[in-house]
Amino acid sequence: MTEDNKTKKLTSYGDKGFSQFIRQAFNRHLGYAPEDFTKPVIGICNTKSEINRCHSHIEPLITAIKNGVLMAGGIPLEFPTISLGEINTSPTTMLYRNLAAMDTEEMIRAQPIDGVVLIGGCDKVTPSQLMGAASANIPSILITGGPMNNGEYEGRTLGACSDCRFFWQEYRGEKVNDQEINEINKALAPTAGHCMVMGSASTMAVCAEAMGMMLPGGAAIPATHNRRLEHAVQTGKQIVELVEKNITPSQIITRKSLENAIRMLMAVGGSTNAVIHLTAIAGRLNIELPLDLFDELSRTTPFIANLRPAGKFQMEDFFKAGGAPVVLKELESLLYTEELTVTGKSLRENLKDVRCSDTYREIITRFEKPLHQEGGIAVLKGNLAPNGAVIKPKAASKELLKHKGRAVVFTSLKDLEERIDDPELDISPDDIMVLQNAGPIGGPGMPEAGMLPIPQKLLKQGVRDMIRISDARMSGTAFGTVILHAAPEAAAGGPIGLVKTGDIIELNVEERVLQLHVTDKELKKRRMEWKPPSYFERGYTSLYQKHVLQADKGCDFDFLVSNPDKR
């Protein structure tokens, strides 16, 4: 530890000498002599959990990180923080992202470490670690556990969890039988690692690379590949160098590097969740990323990575094609390349020797020959979402991108669950399904419920997509003509909460319009009749509902958005 840190991070007893004395006595049990602690002390923020299957395999990676730290002359000390696994966390991991970010920040801040390696992977862990590290602002590097290998069923490549959703829908539509769905279930998530399509986990990993917080190439290496162990050793070595040079997240995460991350998000057709997470990470450093900026960068970034759910390939293929560095190389002319990264060098220097092989051009195309001229996410505005809503047009049905239809409203997730498969439900394929009260406050936690199930009676008629609008999120692995994050949300008094079945809604993605065709007078009347929801009265959820910001502001807590120097 530096002399400064020794003083700053001493446990308080009102006697500095005693604090140092007792620390020395107790640290002997760690196997180190007092003089060893003059070396850089590197915390390794361990999110292993047997409940979070996406992180169940990270122990060998932690050993490799520790070896790297030792090789570079540091002392590695592992400590636990919250682990959030998408599938086993109720009601939704997003409710706990901020808790995980606080845990990360406070443990980095409280413990006598000089630098930290954050090991994440599953959707919410990576952004929470970046948020925490940005606020704690000591030298930090992110690494993930890596994506799963491809699954396979009868010669067809399977991807978790785009195919979880696709085949479940086919099963509900009676196109897949009980035996088949059971066999598919066995093949969906075949190895260690996080979801292997360009869902939220992979999106946040490539964005972390683009913003400079992960060593180049790290995002795409499969969890099972020996290159991941090599990457972990390099990460361990590199954090010691960052401590020696005192390179902190606030020097790396800047408005410009965040714009690079947004370009990456748009070029790979990444998850809509990244819009919320990048905004929250930026907020920790007092940087504003307005939704309009996402739209502007989407309109000017070519879509060049052919990855599911908006394309054809998966992370294993992306790795073979060179992964994030190749995307960045193709985008180079659009990027701020002088930005500093965790290599200690600029993005330009990192990209100097990156070559794009022609063998894999179907996976990552040339800048001049993109899959689409524009990026993967559009921001919509209108009286239904005055502060914005988002859609992934490339994962939607083309013919629905300009549409006027009748609203069919579900007032909550419970209401949706109870009525969606009611044979008496008055609904047709041209209608627009609206889910209310599933936003940050209303969810609570903004669950991934935005890809509302198509009513079974329509599935049986062959309908596979409809326009769906909500104040919820959807998984980055999901697809369809789904409009998300409507802000303000229903529970905050937003107009989405005033929609009634039978109202006419207009969607025009090209024009970025989301309009409710109800007169201002009528909306005013409905607003007078609107009643706010009841809040939780105790515990973390109560704190969450009182302090969470709306989706367009990143869903962080209002008291956490600020400059890291402010205490």
Site residues (vs ligand FES, CB under 6 A): 54, 85-87, 122-123, 194-195, 199, 201
**AA letter at 34:** P
- CA gap 276, 124 in Å, rounded: 11
Whichever of 40 and 147 has its CB closer to ligand FES, that residue is 147
Q: Min. distance of Cβ 241 from ligand FES in angstroms?
A: 30
Whichever of 389 and 395 has its CB closer to ligand FES, that residue is 395
Whichever of 40 and 476 has its CB closer to ligand FES, that residue is 476
Q: Min. distance of Cβ 275 from ligand FES in angstroms?
A: 18
Q: What is the 3-state secondary structure (H, E, C) of 253-268?
A: CCHHHHHHHHHHHHHC
Whichever of 87 and 523 has its CB closer to ligand FES, that residue is 87
Q: Min. distance of Cβ 103 from ligand FES in angstroms?
A: 18
Q: Min. distance of Cβ 150 from ligand FES in angstroms?
A: 14
3-state SS, residue 218: coil
**AA letter at 258:** L
| CA distances to 87, 223, 235 from 122, in Å | 10, 12, 19
Whichever of 199 and 376 has its CB closer to ligand FES, that residue is 199
Q: Min. distance of Cβ 542 from ligand FES in angstroms?
A: 27
- The single residue listed with the structure tokens 């179907």 is 362
CA quadruple 423, 161, 276, 510: dihedral sign: negative
Span between the terminal Cα atoms of the chain, in Å: 22
Q: Min. distance of Cβ 409 from ligand FES in angstroms?
A: 30
Given a contact cutoff of 8 angstroms between Cβ atoms, the answer to whether 418 and 447 are in contact is no
Whichever of 166 and 557 has its CB closer to ligand FES, that residue is 166
Whichever of 252 and 478 has its CB closer to ligand FES, that residue is 478
Q: Min. distance of Cβ 369 from ligand FES in angstroms?
A: 31
Given a contact cutoff of 8 angstroms between Cβ atoms, the answer to whether 372 and 490 are in contact is no
User: Which has the closest alpha carbon to 47: 138, 141, 149, 143?
Assistant: 143
Angle between helical axes of 323-331 and 200-211 (0-180°, round to 10): 60
Instruction: Provide the strand spans (E) within 378-446.
Output: 378-382, 385-391, 402-410, 432-435
